[in-house]
Chain A
């Protein structure tokens, strides 16, 4: 291992030519000039246009479908019934029929000619009201229940007792057992799960599913020990991903059983298997391609129902290419949903700020499946805890992963409750956080996480002027009040499986093929930086091919796993290729291969740099045989790790007459191990903060309780942040000793976690009271300030 680390390890700081430098993204020119082709922009020869008929009901049975009139219309080339008579619809906007026609107007006319009758059924879309008098579920545990307990680090003895008491609704397959083991679940627990009785799930007509209460330490003693107990209610609603490029694909059959799909996806290498399953064709018959993607944020890992039916209607149309891109309303209704989370929380502390106890009763929805509890208390592991979550099954629409699944919700609830507790004690929340910083060390602390948080908080405090600008709650004068708030956050982010095929040709050209994708986070740029740094070349000397499942497989871009995966597979491929090149040219330089280095477009002798060959001349010595190297992750050498910390501070002004919140400034101090591509890494953090401003102040999937439909499926009323809404933004990346040696760690999730809580805390600090629920809209601010007056129905 030590040898592998020496061979493949990252270059020392003074040896890096590209890694960690501020380099413009390589696909910038294509994008700014409108030449970058996204799935939505692809026009295949003879392409047809799809239009989908969607259910207007939140819950219904399909009674009849009549497509006869549409099928006779000129220009209509295919009609496919997605959910025929007898199907049960579980959310409004669900797909029922798709038509393919020669152009969009014709498809729209045909869609209008299709008649679908429904039998409406009772529906439920209220995730906001606190569930009252709900009995704890006693039926067998589902796989999701068990997964939730494992994610929540429920102590083994407690988990085993619950499994014994309730049994399981599923059998633990060998694959699942392996997955559990990979997730560091103990053998004892895996054995117990395998041995547990499998029972029939109990029918449960209530939308509420109250999970088993979880206890850590001695919560009663913890509250007894407390000198101050703070109580509050907090939460955030369901939001949508609102990718600017909607979900969708262009599917065509190149022959009777070969599919070619251009699809907007975060998972280029992972979709063929999904198509194969849905269409009953071999996986190897599916070709998936994507050059650019207009946003995913966790919502584009699958082919989705629409991916399958686009292929089906193409088949009906004789295999011709059919494009189905979701229209904006459908995109917001059915293609992205972050679960809501609400909680009543009690926090106990001593007067010096020492946190002693946590109690939470939480609820929320992840759609028809109910969803799970966010991790609470988040990061700050208060020694004594009692918590219970109620999942609510609703007809709001299915949940999907949304950057840092469950973390922003857990962080919001926890950091809000801690800030309220600090205010009750009369303590600066920064001081309280520092006082309890030891509680932030994870169970297996590989790199002094608590110290990282402390350092980050101090840097953030300096950057936002905390000592100068922070005042105790509500002490800002005038009608416009200013306040500061903070939060800390974490994420894992170990690299996924990745394969990188690197070829050096005798002409000197270099090509990389990898079945990955660039979500706009700079993956292309990062791969080229690693390869260029290793081979002593500039980025434009290497041709990079990604976005196709005919290239070597690389993981889906989710959970901040891409940079770890692609950087390490590329490093290994480039090191192996470089070694082969050194072996070929060593004799020409009168040196041993191990005495050579690749720097500045040449191969030279380390001890005598004037003994060198240009890259082109060196490659010419390969004769006719190119060098090919396949780098893998996981692979030899310890190149990546997992687990980061970040700190966020926000500065807001709140107009107490209108209730409008204005962002003055926000600071994010973030660790992500070794930064590969500094410029795009910073952009990702800026982006996370800006996205979170929208989430905190504007975004909500508003459901009509009487109709069960979404009231704001458009971008007028599903509001994103504009350029004038974001205030000053500061990003500080933790780099250098203590960070670089950990190798690259993913960055997509962590900075999206803390900002919501930091802004919410800043608002509470400004106006002196907590606005319990996001989004912090003007009416909610005004209601929080005037709890007894006016229209207070929404809080």
Chain B
């Protein structure tokens, strides 16, 4: 039956109990698990890996010192505890590659890596991100020294307005780290946590495949 939908690859389903080793980390469910208290304590407290301690320290309500490891550099600022990682990156450190679009963990435009894992920076508090190594799209490469994923996005014209592009590039990095030789079906699921409005998915699918090959070469 050539007209039946393909069955999703079972091995690509998020692993429920091991957030640190699950797949791309960009599905909603994965995201909730790793984002800890900042997003949804009542829903995920039993699996939260990062934030729940026995005696959590009370921070704020005024500004507190925050220190982040971003792209291999230590960045310091005084921030209110309610400031998200995304707003800290963008407004304090002028790292504006990650974009604020939905601002509630849906669209993926703010995707950054925390310890190699893709997270929605709009839904992580800056104070919760202090122990992690954070990589933003700026840290992956720059014009003249682009990451193979970035080059693949250019070669396959996987962008138009480009506002979603940094999020997709970072999500692709996390995805390919987990799936070095992805199938088209895995790409659908692995990059399903990001949205593009201009409609550049045809180029993106080709870009992800190209990047996977480049890395293997």
Task: Give residues in A with beta carbon < 8 Å to B.
Answer: 24-25, 27-38, 40-41, 43, 103-105, 242-246, 292-295, 297, 325, 327-328, 476, 478, 480-482, 519-521, 653, 655, 662, 664, 679-680, 682-684, 686-691, 714-716, 720-724, 726, 729
Contacts and interface: CB of A to CB of B under 8 A. Distances in A.
B87 A679 contact: no
Contact of A722 (B4, B192, B203): B192
Contacts of A720: 195-197
A715 B200 contact: no
Given A31-B159, A32-B169, A683-B203, A724 B192 contact: yes
Contacts of B87: 104
B25 to A, nearest CB: 16
Among B1, B106, B160, chain A packs the most CB atoms within 10 A around the CB of B160
Interface centre among A476, A482, A724 (most CB of B within 10 A): A724
Contacts of B5: 480, 653, 655, 662
A294 B159 contact: no
Contacts of B200: 683, 686-687, 690
Given A28-B153, A29-B143, A686-B203, A38 B3 contact: no
A720 B198 CA distance: 10
B82 interface: yes
Contacts of B192: 722-724
B154 A715 contact: no
Interface stretch (B15-23, B29-37, B46-54, B88-96): B88-96
A43 B151 CA distance: 28
B160 A41 contact: no
B35 to A, nearest CB: 15
Contact of B157 (A24, A36, A37): A24
Q: Which of A27, A519, A662, A720 has the largest count of B CB atoms less than 10 A from its CB?
A: A720
Interface string B184-203: 00011101101111111111
Contact of B198 (A41, A295, A476): A295
Contact of A35 (B143, B160, B194): B143
Given A104-B91, A244-B163, A520-B161, A35 B4 contact: no
* A294, A691, A720, A726, most chain B CB atoms within 10 A: A294
27 contacts: A24-B157, A29-B146, A32-B153, A33-B140, A34-B138, A34-B169, A35-B143, A40-B100, A244-B99, A244-B107, A244-B161, A245-B161, A292-B161, A292-B162, A294-B162, A328-B101, A328-B104, A480-B1, A520-B160, A653-B4, A653-B5, A655-B5, A679-B157, A687-B200, A714-B102, A716-B106, A722-B194
Nearest to B201: A723
Contacts of B103: 327-328
B188 to A, nearest CB: 3
A104 B126 CA distance: 15
A332 to B, nearest CB: 10
B197 A244 contact: yes
Given A34-B136, A520-B160, A723 B191 contact: yes
Contacts of A32: 137, 146, 150-151, 153-154, 159, 162, 165-166, 169
Given A28-B153, A41-B90, A726 B201 contact: yes
B141 interface: yes
Nearest to A245: B163
A691 B199 contact: yes
Nearest to A689: B199
B179 interface: no
B169 to A, nearest CB: 6
Nearest to A690: B199
A34 B101 contact: no
Contacts of A40: 96, 99-100
B97 interface: yes
Contacts of B203: 683, 686
Interface of B: 1, 3-5, 80, 82-83, 87, 90-91, 94-104, 106-107, 109, 136-138, 140-144, 146, 150-151, 153-155, 157, 159-166, 169, 187-189, 191-192, 194-205
What are the 6 closest A-B residue pairs judged by CB atoms, nearest first? A34-B97, A690-B199, A294-B163, A520-B161, A724-B188, A687-B199
Q: Which of B4, B82, B83, B136 has the most CB of A within 10 A?
A: B4
A691 B198 contact: yes
Contacts of A27: 162
B99 A245 contact: yes
Contacts of B187: 723
A34 B98 contact: yes
Given A33-B150, A480-B4, A714-B104, A242 B91 contact: no
A35 B142 contact: yes
Contacts of B202: 686, 690, 726, 729
B81 to A, nearest CB: 10
Nearest to B137: A34
B97 A328 contact: no
A38 B106 contact: no
Contacts of B146: 29, 32-33
Contacts of A25: 154, 157, 159
Contact of B104 (A103, A293, A476, A716): A716
A722 B199 CA distance: 9
Nearest to B170: A34
Contact of B165 (A31, A655, A723): A31
A164 B87 CA distance: 61
Given A105-B80, A480-B5, A723 B109 contact: no
Given A476-B3, A520-B161, 14 more contacts: A29-B154, A32-B137, A32-B150, A32-B151, A33-B166, A34-B95, A34-B97, A104-B83, A105-B80, A245-B163, A295-B161, A328-B102, A683-B200, A720-B195
Contacts of B151: 32
Given A476-B3, A683-B200, A686-B202, A33 B141 contact: yes
A573 to B, nearest CB: 26
Nearest to B153: A32
A758 to B, nearest CB: 15
Contacts of A520: 159-162, 198
Contact of B199 (A24, A28, A721): A721
A103 B157 contact: no
Contact of A294 (B99, B104, B169): B99
B183 to A, nearest CB: 12
